Each structure stands twice: as structure tokens, then as C-alpha cells.
């Protein structure tokens, strides 16, 4: 996954705020998380691999697949995650970019112009081939140790 698992935070530390659940074994997904960590200077967004216990619990509680990691899940408020308040695929990407703010909001606005069917079609196309193109994630240290506090298992 993104960084050293021993450095990640427990789910209890994330009492509020947005959380992005991503495929922790995907090379593309982990690279994107690192880019978002870099541009999210305010540290607004938190992350959890879909394979981890916190995300698995969330997926089960919301009737989402627990073994199909082709879709990211954006949870706008982790402190109130009991309801069906989450976004999948490109709707989740747009919400995550808006949560990050700054220049990421511009990219969110550009993506939002396209109909969700088109966006999600492109998303599914990339999701099907991401392992062939980007491979599995090879564990490596985070560029900044403080980023570990924004990751949960």
C-alpha cells in the first residue's frame, strides 16, 4: 500500500472528515494517492485501502462488494458513515478533488462537465487494464513521514 503499514493510523483517529477508499494493491491507485497527498496541502483528505479492515467494514455495512476493487469509494464524512452517504468511481474522484481544494477543484470542475456515463465508462476501461499497465504496488516509504497519519488500514 501507500506507505509502511506500521506507520498508518488506526480507524479511530479518523473521527471526521472525508476519506477515500482505494485499491491498495494497484500501482496506479497508489501513485494517484501520493499525488493527492502532495497537492492536498491542508491535509483535508484521508485514505484507506479497500483491502484494509476499516474499508472492509465500511463496504460490508453498506452492501458494497468486499472483493472487487475496481471502484474507489469516497466517504464525505467518516464520522457519519452509517448512512448511504458515499460516492463511487468518477463521482468519488470529483468529490475527492473538491475536498482537496486549490487547483484540484478546477480539475473537478472540468471532469464534472462530462456526463457520468461517459466518465464512468472511461474509468472502467482504465480499471480493467490498470494492473497490466501499472502493475502491482511495490511497498516504498512515503516522501513525507507526516503523510502516514492520513492513511488508515
In percent, how much of the chain has pLDDT > 70? 87
Beta bridge partners of 152: 9
* pLDDT tens per residue across span 119-142: 999 888 888 888 787 777 777 667
Number of domains in the chain: 1
Which domain covers residue 52, as residue numbers? 5-150
- Across the chain, mean pLDDT equals 84
For the four alpha carbons of 52, 67, 131 and 73, in that order, the dihedral sign comes to: negative
> How far is Cα of residue 117 from the mean position of the Cα atoms in its chain?
20
State the Cα–Cα distance between residues 119 and 112, nearest whole angstrom. Answer: 9
* pLDDT tens per residue across span 42-80: 899 999 999 999 999 999 999 898 988 888 999 999 887
* Axis crossing angle, helix 116-134 with helix 27-39, rounded to the nearest 10: 110
Banded model confidence at residue 112, pLDDT cuts 50, 70, 90:
very high
Contact partners, residue 12, CB within 8 Å, separation at least 6 = none
* Strand segments (E) across 29-84: 46-49, 73-75
State the Cα–Cα distance between residues 153 and 146, nearest whole angstrom. Answer: 16
State the Cα–Cα distance between residues 27 and 39, nearest whole angstrom. Answer: 19
Q: What pLDDT was estimated at residue 14? A: 57
> What pTM did the predictor assign?
0.84
Amino acid at each position: 500500500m501507500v506507505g509502511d503499514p506500521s506507520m498508518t493510523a488506526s480507524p479511530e483517529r479518523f473521527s471526521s472528515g472525508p476519506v477515500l477508499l482505494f485499491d491498495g494493491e494497484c500501482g496506479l491507485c497508489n501513485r494517484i494517492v501520493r499525488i493527492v497527498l502532495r497537492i492536498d496541502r491542508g491535509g483535508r483528505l484521508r485514505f484507506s485501502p479497500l483491502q484494509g479492515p476499516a474499508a472492509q467494514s465500511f463496504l460490508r455495512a453498506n452492501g458494497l462488494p468486499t472483493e472487487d476493487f475496481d471502484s474507489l469509494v469516497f466517504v464525505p464524512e467518516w464520522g457519519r458513515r452509517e448512512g448511504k452517504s458515499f460516492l463511487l468511481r468518477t463521482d468519488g474522484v470529483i468529490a475527492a478533488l473538491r475536498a482537496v481544494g486549490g487547483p484540484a477543484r478546477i480539475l473537478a470542475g472540468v471532469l464534472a462537465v462530462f456526463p457520468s456515463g461517459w466518465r464512468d465508462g472511461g474509468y472502467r476501461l482504465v480499471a480493467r487494464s490498470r494492473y497490466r499497465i501499472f502493475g502491482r504496488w511495490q511497498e516504498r516509504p512515503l516522501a513525507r513521514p507526516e503523510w502516514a497519519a492520513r492513511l488508515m488500514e
